[in-house]
Structures are given as structure tokens and as C-alpha cells.
Amino acid sequence: MTDAILPLHKAESTNRSGQAAKGTEAAAEQTAVRLIYVAGYGRSGTTLLDIALGEHPAIMGAGEVTTLARHVWDKGEYCACGERVRDCPEWKAIVMRWMQDEPAEFLARYRRTQERTEGLVAPGRLLRLPGWRDHGRRTLKLLRGMAMVSGRPVLVDSSKLPGRAFALAAMPGIDLHVVHVVRDGRGVAWSLMKGHRRSVEKGVQRELRPKPLLYTALRWTMVNVAAEWLCRRVGPKRSIRVRYEDFVDDPRGTIGRIVALVGEAPHPPVADLAPFAPQHQVAGSRHRMQKSLIIRGDDKWKREMPGWKQKLFTLLCAPLLRRYGYPLRQGDTA
Ligand SMILES: [Zn+2]
């Protein structure tokens, strides 16, 4: 039975006795799970960063883990490997292990507790309401399972929401590191003005309606301020801010800074813009469903977004844009 909880590739090739495997598992239970949480607003390259980090042999890029119990598992959504998450060998093994010894309706109960604990202002977390300790234990069980099954000791959760990271930071057994990803809000707003039709196979779980500029300006500000607050909560040795524009300019350099944060050596560079193959990311941007990805910046908004819209966004968000080093007028350098 222990084979089910061994890293898959090892389970296939090893003849180690069950006892030795149990020893490995017991040792893993003693150490905290290393987790890189990618926080930030949508359309900022968080999924791309997740995939690029997962290229490292010690790192599992897991996608937006918050969605697993919320809807991915029950609704039969797709993993980046092309299988439905329920049929993906990696996630199937993880979730089966996770559900072992848990009561019926486990996922539904877990989801309800998530809803009470992952908001920015979440009573379940802030007041430590009944169920909080069990929720922490079950979350840790899921993360340990991900590390065991993937055979990768460092996990990436690119759920983005700062509130979920506040919850993870308060749970014992998790060695949390935060990457706050920022993209020029005008590029985010322009990207969100274009909607996407629902296409589950292509990784778009629901119809994405175009978002008005004022809505994005407000949400972009709130989420980034909350992500900064989160970075202060975990401290400067465990957090880093990454600008989307710098990441697409120098992916290897950015990845190197992040892996150093969790104490791993950089993965030897292949080539600066080598194609990346998505692995087993659950949810996240639709780009994860491509077979191979090339990291290329998208600054079409600078040419396509009407000037008055750019100026309006700049007016609304000038302090934060300036804080992140974005020029307030086109033509100025950062
Ligand atoms: Zn998969």
C-alpha cells in the first residue's frame, strides 16, 4: 500500500521495502513543507511563473491549489498535462492519499472551511473558529502528499489571493515563502477588457466577461496592497517582489532569485528563452494548456489601449504605479 504514496517515478523503479518507505515518510513528516506562494492580481504572469519554477527538478509547480477542492475536482476540470485532474495520475494519487482516513463529504467540508478562512477578512481564520485546527492539519496533509507523490520537496501554489496565504502562514508545519508578482496595471486592465468564452478543454472554466477599467483599477490596488502586507507578515527573508516585465525580460535571473529564497541551487540554464512544458498545474491561466511555452512579454497595451484609458488608469493608480517603478507617461523610462 505504501507504493501509492511514494513519488511515482520512484514507485515504478524501486524495490525498496515497505519499511524503508515508511521511514522516508516518517522523516518527511518531521520537517516543514517548503511552499512558494505566488501572490498578486490576475493577468500578471503568475501561471507562467508557476510553470517556469516547475522546470526546476526540486520544485512542483502545482497551479492554483485553492481551486482543487473548490471546483476543479468535482467539476472534472483539466490539468496542464492534458488529462482531467481526476484522471491525471499525479493528482489522482495525491487526492486518494489525501482522502484516506477522512470522513465522507470530506471535500465539501474542506471547501466550506476554505471559504471561511481564505478571504482577506476571514472570521474562521482571524477568530480561530471551530474547525480551524482540523483545516490546518488537512491542508498540511494535502501539501505533504503533493511533495511525496511528485518527489519534489518544494511546492508552488499560485492561487494569487493574499488571503489564502495569510491562512497558510498561520498553519503549523508550512515553511511559507511569498513571491509578490506585479504587472503594470494598465497592461492588466487592457488584458481584462477582453473577455474569453468558456472552454473547459482550453483551460477556461467559465466565461470571462470583460472587466471595466474602474473595477480593475480598484481591485489591482487592493490586491497589491494586500500582497505587500502579506510580505511584511512573512518577513523580508521569506518574501520577494517580482515585476512581470522583469521576469519576461530575464526569466532565468528571476527564477534564480526565487529558488535562492527557498535554499535551492539554480537549475543549470538551458537557454534563456527555452520552451517550457507545463506539468501538472491545476487551474490558472489558459496558457497552461499549451504543450510548450515560450516566455515572451506582452506589452501590446502600450500601442492598442486608447490614450484616454491609459491616462485615466494612471490618474487613479499613480502612487502605486510609481512605487513599482512604472513610468507615468508613455516614453518615460522606468
Ligand atoms: Zn496532470
pLDDT in tens, 305-332: 999 999 999 999 999 999 999 999 876 6
- Max mean pLDDT range (21-25, 100-104, 126-130, 238-242): 238-242
The total number of structural domains in the chain stands at 1
Distance (Å) from CA 86 to ligand 1 centroid: 9
Average pLDDT of span 167-182: 97
| Residues ≥6 apart with Cβ < 8 Å to 156 | 35, 36, 37, 38, 50, 53, 54, 59, 60, 61, 62
Residue 313: inside a domain:
no
pLDDT tens column, 84-137: 999 999 999 999 999 999 998 999 999 999 999 999 989 889 888 888 999 999
Rounded-to-integer distance, Cα 139 and Cα 62, Å: 14
Average pLDDT of span 197-213: 76
Residue 240: inside a domain:
yes
CATH number of the domain to which 187 belongs: 3.40.50
Distance (Å) from CA 228 to ligand 1 centroid: 32
Is the pLDDT at 236 greater than 90, yes or no?
yes
Residue 22: inside a domain:
no
Residue 24: inside a domain:
no
Structure confidence at residue 166 (pLDDT): 97
- Nearest Cα to Cα of residue 217 among 241, 193, 243, 181: 193
Is the pLDDT at 26 greater than 90, yes or no?
no
Residue 218: inside a domain:
yes
Residue 147: inside a domain:
yes
Distance (Å) from CA 258 to ligand 1 centroid: 24
In this predicted structure, which of 149-153, 184-188, 214-218, 292-296 has the lowest mean pLDDT?
292-296
Structure confidence at residue 145 (pLDDT): 97
Average pLDDT of span 69-74: 94
Is the pLDDT at 290 greater than 60, yes or no?
yes
| Residues ≥6 apart with Cβ < 8 Å to 1 | 18
Residue 12 binned pLDDT confidence (cut-offs 50, 70, 90): very low
Interior/surface letters 192-202, b for 16+ CB within 10 angstroms, e for the rest:
bbeeeeeeeee
Is the pLDDT at 13 greater than 90, yes or no?
no
Q: Work out the mean pLDDT of the chain and round it to a whole number.
A: 87
* Domain with 65 in it: 31-299
Reported pTM: 0.88
- Nearest Cα to Cα of residue 200 among 61, 40, 85, 35: 85
Distance (Å) from CA 17 to ligand 1 centroid: 28
Structure confidence at residue 176 (pLDDT): 98
Residue 328: inside a domain:
no
- Nearest Cα to Cα of residue 127 among 116, 138, 111: 116
Neighbours of ion ligand 1 (CB under 5 A): 79, 81, 88, 280
Distance (Å) from CA 78 to ligand 1 centroid: 8
Is the pLDDT at 179 greater than 50, yes or no?
yes
Is the pLDDT at 206 greater than 80, yes or no?
no
- Residues 162/229, Cβ–Cβ less than 8 Å: yes
Distance (Å) from CA 59 to ligand 1 centroid: 15
Residue 19 binned pLDDT confidence (cut-offs 50, 70, 90): low
Q: What is the 3-state secondary structure (H, E, C) of 142-185?
A: HHHHHHHHHCCCEEEEEEECHHHHHHHHCCCCEEEEEEEEECCH
Residue 163 binned pLDDT confidence (cut-offs 50, 70, 90): very high
Percent of the chain's residues with pLDDT above 70: 86
Distance (Å) from CA 91 to ligand 1 centroid: 6
Residue 305: inside a domain:
no
